[in-house]
Structure 1
Amino acid sequence: MADHIGQRIASRRQARRMTQADLARESHVSLPMIKGCERGVRTPGPSTLEAIATALGVDASRLDPARVGSSRRAHAALPSISAAIAGHDIPLAAPGRARAQLRADVDTVVGWRLSAQYGLIAARAPGLLGDVLAHLHSASGIRRAETARLVVATARAADAVAYKFGAHDLSARLIDVMRWAAVRADDPDLLATVAYVRAETFLAARAHQAGRITLEQALDSGPAPKSPQSAATRGALHMRTAVIAARAAEPDGAHGHLREARRLAEKLPERIYLGTAFGPSSVRIHEVAVSVSLGRDHIGHVLDLAREWRPGEEIPAERRSGFWIEVARAQLWSGNPDGAFESLKEARKHAPQHVREHPWAREDIAKIRRLKRADTESLTAYAEWIGAV
């Protein structure tokens, strides 16, 4: 089987005009491993296969048909995630892993969330949730606050799976777990981060006015930033509130929150703060999201920005992918289906699992196929991959 997997990797790599070194760099897998897989002398493990598949823009099951696809794995894990948090406020059992290992495993799933590796998160999240909750119930003092942050990070990774795969009730329950844990940390920055994630509940319900009010209350109740981390978590909350306000058809409020986010980002490097990317590039991406959320009359800014700027490696893969999905929608609205298709292909390069589960991407590729009289093989293949046909 390994040589068949290797042949599929090589074939897909060559179709994308990538060298073995290109694939190693894009997948963060060693060049000897790539060469060994393609020769059939090494067998990629689950995480390696997922990383290679992401770099090649395909689901891992396309490289190894015996492997269950990411979507099926994610859906299959949802009941176990639900069971893991059913008694989150009750001490149930001793943790199954040491604290040092726990921190390393949480860091791993946070990385998977930022790169939209939902299948990998789904496999790890139920057991990890049980252990971080068990550690929190037995922790005290400074360890209690540290462990509460681990609970929030783990529940947020599990929430990425629940939210992306349409389990919005489970997503809301996971956010409740995050809120419960954040209170135990007594950390305003962590509370701001959880408020940022909580916006998903309002976006899923399209309760944009209620979401704007709730996020603004979180901003009003938080202290003035006194550190780079607190400035970043507050700035990120302004970014998310701007999008919610735009969805509520409140352009003045949306642009006001963007200005605050931009002001806070001016003195900060673009990086991850408590699990959320923030900095000048993230604010630019949210400018695009706000313009698209405000509707067709505001897409000129999106098109201008996309012509002169593109997010770099300083931005997590999921957010880079989201940028190109937003740009594609603006291009489609402007009567440029070819440009929209190119943007959707670019989005898939960065985070294929994110694109595949994104309703806008599926809707837009279906519309592009209807608009294109002379269908192309690549367009049909993309539509089949994303489930639009």
Structure 2
Amino acid sequence: MPLRGEDHTGARIAHHRKRAGLTQRALADKIPYSYSLLTQVESGHKPASPDLVATVARTLAIDVTALTGQPYVTELQQDRLAGLIRPIREALDLYDLGADPDIDPRPTLQLVAAAENLCQQVRATKLHDAALDLPGLIAEITTAAHRAPSSELWAALSSTFRTAHDLSVKLGFYDLSTVALDRMDWAAARAADPLLGAVRQYMRALVYFREGEYTIGRRLVSSGHGLLSQATPSREREVVAGQLHLGACIIAARARDRSAVETHLAEARTHAQRVGEATEVHWLSFGPTNVAAHAVSANIELREYGEALKEASGVVIPRDWAVSRAAHFYVDQARAQMEAGRSEAALKSIKQARRLAPQQTRYHSGARETIRGLVHVARRTPDTLDHLAAWVGL
């Protein structure tokens, strides 16, 4: 049976399809999904996969967020996060005003450490704390960098803009995340650090990946590799190169290019074997574990759920792995388990993601769609699942 209410991705697809003057059959003819699946998604009997959402958004020439319904205003208000977004938006907008005469910034080493701590807060999914501290730190480092320019300060500022991007994505403010990436590029250019530029291209590629623009995503990854050619050979360069291959792997999976998926995974494995677990480098969580986790994600995007679960069974998450990354893995695993008909296992994985990173899981579109799917297949909704559905606002 469908969920209560009409506020779900399928209903939004139906709304925007009708606004475009298309019947269900006409839309199905324009996308690589069946008419039957589209009707089930629109009625709320099937969850909408990220790829289907991106494909429909691209076909209807609308933003993905128009279909996902993010940001989730009610939940954000309950978590006391909604009021913190405007100061972040203002901090990103005022980036070019130079030094603030009312700010007496801390020494460079302390500011660099503060920028690192902010990254760590987001990866530990302490979203409220990070959102509270971010605007002030942007203003402080901006002032310090304008008064006494140095590559260290510009790099720290680039890092805070990257954190603004990460935070915006986790809360569903994708328009703000794009602005943050532009600011990251502005600061990275002043730091004269090609590694930062390459990381920024990787993150831009993921923006286009979410929008279903896979060709552009691949071009951005290629541009990132080009920037790396300007960097001195180092462990850090290996890490960023490996992460670029992982991004390209997932983009290729969405594009149904199995050959490219295998090629990029193989390249990433080679880099991972050389650097080991490198969770500290640009907070990319790169290493053998991340390669294995991406193999799971790639198989899910290829709709090969049995292979995804086979890969997932071999993943052992390190204790020092970023909480945000571990929670994302459990959400992916839950999706594969649900699609494979293993509802109890899927519910267990979602609960694990929630235990690790409650705020991130609450706003994760994949978690919400998986919970929705579990509700539909359950003959009798377990109390835990019913509670989860209410918790994410379904």
**2:244 pairs with 1:237:** yes
CA 1:159–1:82 in structure 2 vs 1: closer, same or farther (change >3 Å)? same
**Does 1:185 pair with 2:191?**
yes
Tell me which residue corresponds to 1:43. Answer: none
1:268 and 2:259 matched: no
1-structure distance, mates of 2:112, 2:223: 32
Q: Which amino acid aligns with 2:83?
A: A
- Cα deviation, residue 307, structure 1: 2.6
Amino acid paired to 1:82:
R
Secondary structure of residue in 2 paired with 1:83: helix
In structure 2, distance between residues paired with 1:235 and 1:153: 20
Q: How many Å apart are 1:186 and its aligned residue?
A: 1.4
Partners in 1 of 2:155 and 2:328 — Cα distance? 26
Q: Secondary structure at the match of 2:97?
A: coil
Map 1:249-268 → 2, pairs under 5 A: 249-268=256-275
SS at match of 2:111: helix
Alpha-carbon offset, residue 218 of structure 1: 1.9
Inter-partner Cα distance in structure 2 for 1:83 and 1:158:
12
* 2:85 equivalent among 78, 101, 114: 78
CA contact (8 A) 2:308 2:336 kept: yes
Figure out how many residues of one structure are paired with residues of the other and give that number. 316
The superposition leaves residues 289-337 of structure 1 with CA deviations (integer Å, 9 ceiling, x where unpaired) of 111122x2x2222111223333231321111111111111111111111
- Structure 2 residue runs without a partner (length 5+): 1-74
Shift of 1:339: 1.3
Contact in 1 for aligned 2:202/2:220 (Cα 8 Å): no
Residue 72 of structure 1: CA displacement? Answer: 4.5
- Pairs within 5 Å for 1:164-243: 164-223=170-229, 226-243=233-250
Kindly indicate whether residue 311 of structure 2 is the aligned counterpart of residue 305 of structure 1: yes
2:124 aligns with one of 89, 102, 115: 115
Contact 2:295 2:311 in 1 (8 A): no
Q: Aligned equivalents of 1:150 and 1:343: distance in 2? A: 36
Task: Work out whether residues 218 and 251 of structure 2, in 8 Å CA contact, stay in contact via their aligned partners in 1.
Answer: yes
Cα distance, 1:71 vs. partner?
Answer: 6.0
Identical positions, percent? 29
Structure 1: runs of 5+ lacking an equivalent: 1-67
C-alpha distance in 2, partners of 1:189/1:71? 38
Once the two structures are TM-superposed, the CA of residue 225 in structure 1 deviates from its matched residue by: 6.4
Deviation at 1:250, TM superposition (A): 2.2
Q: 1:71 to 1:198 in 2, by over 3 A?
A: farther
Is 1:127 equivalent to 2:133 in the alignment?
no
Q: 1: CA distance between counterparts of 2:263 and 2:226?
A: 14
Summarize the alignment of residues 153-168 of structure 1 with structure 2, pairs less than 5 Å apart: 153-168=159-174
Distance in 1 separating the partners of 2:371 and 2:320 = 28
Alignment partner of 1:308: what SS?
A: coil
8 Å CA contact 1:73–1:123 kept in 2: the answer is no
Paired position in structure 1 for 2:295: 287
Deviation for aligned residue 1:123: 0.8
- Contact residue 152 and residue 177 of structure 1 kept, 8 A: yes
Candidates 348, 360, 377, aligned match of 1:354: 360
Please give the TM-score of this superposition, normalised by the length of structure 1.
Answer: 0.77
Q: Deviations over 1:135-158 (max 9, x none)?
A: 222233xxx211122112211222
Following superposition, the deviation at residue 274 of structure 1 comes to 1.7
Letter in 2 for 1:276: L
Higher RCO structure (Cα 8 Å, ≥6 apart): 2
The aligned amino acid for 1:250 is D
**SS of the residue aligned with 2:96?**
coil
**Paired residue secondary structure (2:285):** strand
- Deviation string 1:180-239 (CA, Å, 9 cap, x unpaired) is 111111112121222222223213322222111121122134217611111111111111
AA in 2 matched with 1:275: W
State how far apart, in whole Å, the 1-side matches of 2:305 and 2:227 are.
Answer: 34
Deviation, structure 1 residue 70: 7.4
Contact 1:225 1:231 (8 Å CA) reproduced: no
The 5 A counterparts of 1:378-389 are 378-388=384-394
Counterpart code for 1:196: Y
Q: Is the 8 A contact 1:129 1:154 kept in 2?
A: yes
Aligned to 1:21: none
Query: Which amino acid counterpart does residue 384 of structure 1 have in structure 2?
Result: A
Q: Identify if the C-alpha distance between structure 1 residues 247 and 75 changes in structure 2 by more than 3 Å, giving closer, same or farther.
A: farther
Say whether the 8 Å CA contact 2:293–2:312 is kept in structure 1: no
In the TM superposition, residue 249 of structure 1 has moved relative to its aligned partner by 2.4
CA contact (8 A) 1:282 1:315 kept: no
1:90 Cα deviation after fit: 3.2
Displacement after TM superposition at 1:92 (Å): 4.1
